[in-house]
Amino acid sequence: MIDSSLKDIAAALRAKTVSAVELATESLARIEAGNPRINAFVTVDRDGALAAARAADTRIAAGDAGPLTGIPLAHKDVFCTEGVLTTCGSKMLANFVSPYDAHVVSLLKNAGAVMVGKTNMDEFAMGSSNESSHFGPTRNPWNTTKVPGGSSGGSAAAVAARMVPIATGSDTGGSVRQPASLCGITGIKPTYGTVSRFGMIAYASSLDQGGAFARTAEDCAQLLSAMTGHDPRDSTSLERSYDHYGADLARPLAGLRIGLPKEFFAEGMSDDVRLAVEAALAEYRKLGATTVEVSLPNARLAIPAYYVIAPAEASSNLSRFDGVRYGHRAAEYTDLNDMYCKSRSQGFGAEVQRRILVGTYVLSHGYYDAYYIKAQKLRRLIAQDFAAALEQCDVIAGPTNPTVAYGIGEKSSDPVQMYLGDIYTVAVNLAGLPGLSHPAGFGKDGLPVGLQLIGNYFTEARLLNTAHQFQQATDWHSRAPVF
């Protein structure tokens, strides 16, 4: 049953042809069968899931159910969950049990969704392949020698492998869209400020945003609608009214203007990706959309700007993990400085240490103007490029990733190569815009390709509508991996 759409599952729950306990049991059985190969979950909360499912069944029986009541779901391990381990993929937090729920977690709990576990991720959400996790890499269900993408690779793999119908993620520079693309599912990162960051362990606060994974845009709309809303505990949470993101799904695409940034199509895309993206654009034209060329002249500067700003913010955010206030403490040390030093050296992996070093460097006296301020100026130029492009079109489309999923270990010794894989996603976070990735086809070796849609601020419903119409005409999103 968990292979069905959320709408069908909810209808079956209401009709009592399935119970929430049966759904949770099905999800837990699939995790048990598949997780040894995929490593999508760091923690499976069997008892908590069954208790939540029983509570959901009581609500359903009382006629008090919402669209997500009784639906199994997984949270990326970046979201704090009261009473359940929250590791953020790090040895630093390997034993951390949060005393409270993240805002997103409590919203979904209140909606009656049934959390089955916490998913694997790059350590502190730093990575594009899920290989930097302290708990070992997650494997791509389409080919277990390949990466699932990162940093929310566990959530994407869990949905792709049909272990859960929906999962949460976070996207600082592409971590929802990238793994969605490499795992052949749909993922959306909304406008910055839409999803509360309260209880979502901070990586780069001005870029971090929670997001949603599902197989289809329709299901993403349902999950994202339940995750949004103003939260006074996050000072960047926006006070505005939120319509249901599924409100616009049925709108035909006739007249939709799709902007194609010429810089995205100039070079850098592999043949697999180019062919699938071009075929998807042809499909969009068949659906009545028109395509126009637009330009994002500063897009090529997005990687250097992002890889200054994100580490700068990370170096500050991660200073709290010192073995005293939070996190792993070394067993043996000589004095206070030695304790800090050993605790952080032992608790953080290589990629996190690299980012803390870079971030500390670019913020230090004498380099701050040369790097950090310069990067902030580029950030503004990038946002202005998007604003100009979005005057000529309704949505921007292009690839999500330059290639299909690559081999585990293939790029992990070359950080710069890894960073370059983020070329199409990071600019969206620098501008704070919403972005979505949906399945667009497969490469010659049977690995999924994603198409990215980028919209203006608060146009999530339009992006989901666009992807939904595409999914009515194609079946890429319903293909399932055999692993």
Chain residues in the site for ligand GLN (CB under 6 A): 125-128, 151, 171-175, 203, 310, 422
**What's the min distance (Å) between Cβ of 364 and ligand GLN?**
21
User: For residue 323, what are the CA distances in angstroms to 85, 123, 311?
Assistant: 17, 17, 21
Coil vs helix vs strand at 260: strand
Structure tokens at 217: 């845009």
Cβ nearer to ligand GLN, comparing 128 with 471: 128
Tokens 């639906």 appear where? Answer: 71
Structure tokens at 482: 């055999």
Task: Note whether 235 and 203 are within 8 A (CB).
Answer: no
Cβ nearer to ligand GLN, comparing 172 with 471: 172
**What's the min distance (Å) between Cβ of 309 and ligand GLN?**
10
Cβ nearer to ligand GLN, comparing 30 with 197: 197
Residues 6+ apart with CB under 8 A from 131: 122, 137, 147, 150, 408, 409, 412
Whats the size of the chain, residue-wise? 483
Cβ nearer to ligand GLN, comparing 67 with 127: 127
Q: Which of 90, 98, 175, 196 is catalytic?
A: 175
**What's the min distance (Å) between Cβ of 323 and ligand GLN?**
24
Structure tokens at 426: 């990071």
- 151 labelled catalytic: yes
CA angle 424, 474, 12 (to 5 degrees): 105
Q: Which of 106, 132, 151, 237 is catalytic?
A: 151
Q: Which of 19, 27, 76, 237 is catalytic?
A: 76
**What's the min distance (Å) between Cβ of 354 and ligand GLN?**
11
Coil vs helix vs strand at 402: coil
Cβ nearer to ligand GLN, comparing 113 with 125: 125
Other CB atoms within 10 Å distance of the CB of residue 14: 13
Burial class (CB in 10 A: 0-12, 13-18, 19+), 102: buried
* Beta strand 257-261 pairing with 290-294: parallel
- 76 labelled catalytic: yes
- 342 labelled catalytic: no
Give start and end residues of each alpha helix (H) in 393-431.
415-420, 426-431
Cβ nearer to ligand GLN, comparing 231 with 422: 422
**What's the min distance (Å) between Cβ of 87 and ligand GLN?**
15
**What's the min distance (Å) between Cβ of 229 and ligand GLN?**
22
Task: Note whether 216 and 186 are within 8 A (CB).
Answer: yes
Residues with a catalytic annotation lie at 76, 151, 175
